[in-house]
Chain A
Amino acid sequence: MKKLMIMLLILLSVSAIPVFADYYYEKGDTAFSFNVGTGIPAFQAFVNNSDKGFEPWIDGTHSYVGGYGSLGYQSFVTRNLAIGGEIGYAFNNSFAKKIFTTVPITAKLSWYPVQTGKFDLILHANAGIAVLRYETDRFLAPHAKISINPVYYISDSWGLGIDAGLWVNYEFYGSSASGYKSNESAFGGFIPATVSLIYRH
C-alpha cells in the first residue's frame, strides 16, 4: 500500500512536467473507455505460508489464461491529468476447471505525457476494491492496478489502442480467521491485456 502511495505521488509530481509544449486536451474534457481482452495469471504470493510463498504464472497459480473487460469514465482536471472511475469483470479457470472471477471497482488516475491529437500515450493508476469469487466463496479485496495505454485516434472522437498492465488484489485474513485461513493471506497478481476503444469529447 505504501509503495502504491509513493507511486501515485511520483505520478502526480511528474504530471506537472509538460512533455510536449502543445496540449491537445482542455480541463473539463471527458473520455469514455471500453476495454476487452485477455487476462494472464501473474502470481500468487502467500505472506504467512512458508510452504507456498511466491507462485508465478500458470503452473504456480494453477490458473489458466482468462478474459477481462472494463468500462471507464474520466474527466480532465488539468491539461494532461484525468480522474474518474472504472468497473471491470475478469474471469479465469483454475486447474479444476472452476471459474475464478474478479470485479474491480476503482478510482482511476490517468496521465497523458504524450498527446498529439492523433496519438496519446496514457499511463493509468487505479485503486479501489475488487469482489473475488471462487466456487461459493466471495471476498472483498483491496485492489490496485497500473497500466500503459497507447491510443491512435481514427477520428476526432474515437480512438483505438492497447491497454496492458498489472493488477494486484490482497486477500487478507487476520489471526482470528476461522479454519486454516489465518495462514492463507495472499496477494494475487493478474496481467490484463486488452484492446481499448476510447470516446473523447
Chain B
Amino acid sequence: MKKSIVFALLLALLLLVSCNADSEHGLYYKVSNSLPSSGIAVIGYLGYEGGTHYFYSNAGIYKVGATGGAQVLKGTENFQIHGAYMANADTFYFITITPDSPAAVYKYLVSTETASKQESLTGYSMLFSNGFLYSNTVITVVDDTASSVVLTDGKFSTPYASGDSIIVMHGSKAEIYKKGSLSTPVTVTGFSSSLKGFFHQLAEDIYLVFDGKKVYEVTASCSLGDLTPKASLPEAPSHGYKVSTYGTGIESYLVRTKTGFTKNGSWIAVDWLSRNSINDTNVVDMYDMGNGEIAVATYSNGIYIIDMAAEKVHEVRL
C-alpha cells in the first residue's frame, strides 16, 4: 500500500515536471519579460509621417510622437472602428460597426474635425491600412473609387493587403491587384497551402508571397513551381505572418511568426528581440519606416521601433 502511494506521488511529480517541456521559454524568463498594458488596444498601424506614428484602436484614431504619449485624433463613443486608412496626416478613412445601423465608410479631416459618410456597406467588409476596401465580394480603393474589382466565383478567401496591393486566393491560385491597375492583376498559381503572408515592396515593386514555410519573390504572373524559394522559414505559422522589409534590397525582411521573429528566413539567434521583451507581445502590424527601422505595433504593449542594422529596440510609450 505504502509503495503504491509513493509510486503514485512520484508519477504525479514526473507529470508535473514534464508540463513545461513544450514551452519555448522558462517561467521566470517570461515573467521577467512581461510588460504592463499600454491601456490602448492597438488594432492597426496606419503610417509614419513627420516623426509621428499613426494607429487606431476600436475606440479611435491616434497619433504618437517619438517621446510617447498618444493623442486621440478621432475618438468614438457609439460605434467601433473596424478598419482604417491614412491618406495623409490630415485625411483618414475608417469603417464603423454600430449595433443599430449598417457598417459605413467615413472620411475624417483632422484640420476641420469633420467626419463625412462616404458609403454604407453590406455583407462582410474590411478596410485595409493601405486603402483597399473589401466589401461583399467587391474590391475598391476608398480614395479612388473610379475602378473596382468584382470577385465572382465565390471561392476566394480573405485577402491580405500590403504596400499598394491586395492579394486574393482562389484555391491554389492567387490574384494580386495593384492600385492604378486593378483590371490587370498579377496571377500566381501552384500554391500548396493557404496563403499565410504577403508583402508588396514599393521600392522595387516586387511581392513576397508565403506558401507554408517557403518565401517566394514574384514580379509577374507565374507559377510557384517555376520559382526558386528565396528562403525557407523555420516555422509554419498557425495564422497570418506579419512581414516587413527594412530597406530596398529584397534580402532585407523581417517576419513575425507564432514563436518569434525571423530575419531573412532564419531565426534571430541573438536574443536582442527577446531581451527587449518584444518577443512576448501580440504583434498586430509591422511597418517599414524607410530608414532601416521597422515600427512594430502590438495589441496591448504599444509600439516598438526596431533598428535592424544596430540590432536595437526601443519602445514608444502610448
Contacts and interface: CB of A to CB of B under 8 A. Distances in A.
A179 B19 contact: no
Interface in A48-96: 49, 51-52, 55, 60-63, 94-96
Interface in B22-51: 22-37
A63 to B, nearest CB: 6
Contacts of B26: 139, 171, 173, 181, 184-186
Contacts of B32: 44, 46, 52, 55, 60-62, 186
Chain A interface size range: 35 or more
B134 to A, nearest CB: 34
A37 to B, nearest CB: 21
Given A95-B36, A129-B13, A180 B24 contact: yes
Contacts of B21: 178
Nearest to B23: A137
Contact of A137 (B13, B19, B36, B274): B19
B76 to A, nearest CB: 25
A171 B37 CA distance: 26
Nearest to B269: A180
A49 B275 CA distance: 10
Contacts of A173: 26
Contacts of A134: 27, 30-31
Interface in A92-123: 94-98, 100
Contacts of A44: 28, 31-32
A171 B17 CA distance: 11
Contacts of B35: 62, 95-96
Contacts of B25: 179-181, 184
A181 B35 CA distance: 20
B20 A139 contact: yes
A94 B31 contact: yes
A31 interface: no
A188 interface: yes
A185 B29 CA distance: 8
A139 B17 contact: yes
Contacts of A156: none
A184 B34 contact: no
B22 A178 contact: yes
B36 A178 contact: no
Nearest to B29: A184
Interface string B152-181: 000000000000000000000000000000
B17 A61 contact: no
A138 interface: yes
B311 to A, nearest CB: 12
A162 interface: no
Contacts of B29: 46, 49, 52, 180-181, 184, 186
27 contacts: A44-B31, A49-B29, A51-B271, A51-B275, A52-B29, A60-B32, A62-B35, A63-B34, A94-B30, A94-B31, A95-B35, A131-B16, A137-B19, A138-B16, A139-B27, A140-B13, A171-B28, A179-B23, A180-B25, A180-B29, A181-B20, A181-B24, A181-B29, A183-B271, A184-B28, A186-B26, A186-B29
Given A44-B31, A137-B19, 16 more contacts: A51-B275, A63-B31, A96-B280, A97-B37, A131-B16, A135-B30, A138-B16, A138-B19, A139-B26, A171-B27, A179-B23, A180-B24, A181-B20, A181-B26, A184-B26, A186-B29
Which 10 residue pairs spanning A and B have beta carbons closest together?
A: A179-B24, A184-B26, A94-B34, A96-B34, A138-B19, A186-B28, A184-B29, A134-B27, A95-B34, A140-B16
Interface of A: 44, 46, 49, 51-52, 55, 60-63, 94-98, 100, 129, 131-135, 137-140, 171, 173, 178-181, 183-186, 188
